[in-house]
Amino acid sequence: MLNREVLDVDSNGFFGINALTGSYSSKNISIERKDYKPFFIEIKNTGGSISYKVKKNFKILKWKKIDTLDSLNNYYRVDDYINVYSSNFLLKNDTIWVFLEKN
């Protein structure tokens, strides 16, 4: 696991981590920023095969007002599931791009 530290972030929200260079069996990366959902990823390297597992935790969100989808067929939405973590990321060359979602 990487040591907890404050990283320099530019105006676009970009920052770098160079602690994943070299050989490793697994790493956990957690990214948090105020007003955004946190991001957590587990990276496993087993015999040269790398896998990525993003943490997800769903909770039920109850609507204060019923959402009418189709009143003729009696379709209404009273709740929804949301992930309390950001889960969008992209692998490009040797870079992991993380997209934090607003709370």
Report CA torsion sign: 37, 100, 82, 80. Answer: positive
State the Cα–Cα distance between residues 9 and 36, nearest whole angstrom: 15
- Is pLDDT of 3 > 50? no
- Is pLDDT of 42 > 70? yes
- Based on the number of CB atoms within 10 Å of its own CB, is 55 exposed (0-12), middle (13-18) or buried (19 or more)? middle
pLDDT for 8 equals 63
- Is pLDDT of 82 > 70? yes
Domain locations in the chain as residue ranges:
26-56+85-99
**What pTM was computed for the model?**
0.63
